[in-house]
Amino acid sequence: MSKKKLIYPLILPAILILLSGLLVLRWSYLLQRAKDINEIRAFLVLLPLLPYVFFSIAIIIGWNLNSMGVVLASCVLIILYFEIGKTGTVNLQSKEPISAVSAAIAFLLPLNFIFFATLRKQKLLNRNTIYFLILIGLQITYVVFLSHIANNPHSGFMLYLNNIFPELTKLTINVLNRLISFTYNTSLFGFKNISSPTIVVFLFTAGFILWSFIVSADILLVGFLGALIASFIGISAGRSVPCMVIFFSTAGLILTVTAIHASFLMAYIDEITGLPGRRKLNNVLETFRKKYTIAMIDIDYFKKVNDTYGHEVGDQVLKMVAVKLGKMPGNPQTFRYGGEEFTAIFPGTSIEEVLPLLEVFKRDLSATSFIIRSRERIKRGEADRGKVEIIEENKLKLTVSIGVASDYEDSRDPKKILIAADKMLLKAKASGRNKVTALVKGAVL
Which domains does the chain show, CATH number per domain?
3-268 (no CATH), 278-444 (3.30.70.270)
Q: For residues 94 and 89, give the distance between their C-alpha atoms in angstroms, rounded to a whole number.
A: 12
Nearest to 48 by CA among 84, 12, 96: 84
Query: Which amino acid would we find at residue 235?
Result: I
Q: For residues 148 and 192, give the distance between their C-alpha atoms in angstroms, rounded to a whole number.
A: 23
Nearest to 335 by CA among 389, 425, 273, 384: 273
Average pLDDT over residues 239-244: 69
| 412-434 pLDDT tens trace | 678 888 888 999 999 999 888 88
Q: For residues 314 and 439, give the distance between their C-alpha atoms in angstroms, rounded to a whole number.
A: 30
Measured in Å, how far apart are the chain's first and last C-alpha atoms? 38
- Of the segments 3-12, 79-88, 245-254, 330-339, which one has the largest average pLDDT value? 245-254
- Judge whether residue 251 has pLDDT over 90: yes
More confident residue, 127 or 437: 437
| 153-175 pLDDT tens trace | 555 656 666 677 677 666 666 66
**Phi, psi (degrees; rounded to nearest 5) at 306:** -65, -45
Average pLDDT over residues 41-62: 85
Q: What is the predicted pLDDT for the residue at 266?
A: 80
Query: Which amino acid would we find at residue 397?
Result: K
332 Rama class: left (phi>0) / alpha (psi -120 to 50) / beta: beta
Whether pTM > 0.85 for this model: the answer is no
47-52 long-range contacts, CB within 8 A, separation 24+: 47/92, 47/242, 47/245, 47/246, 47/249, 48/85, 48/89, 48/90, 48/92, 48/245, 49/89, 50/245, 50/249, 50/252, 51/77, 51/78, 51/81, 51/245, 51/248, 51/249, 51/251, 51/252, 52/78, 52/81
- Judge whether residue 233 has pLDDT over 70: yes
Based on the number of CB atoms within 10 Å of its own CB, is 232 exposed (0-12), middle (13-18) or buried (19 or more)? buried
Q: How far is CA 294 from CA 104, 275, 344, 424, in A?
A: 60, 16, 6, 11
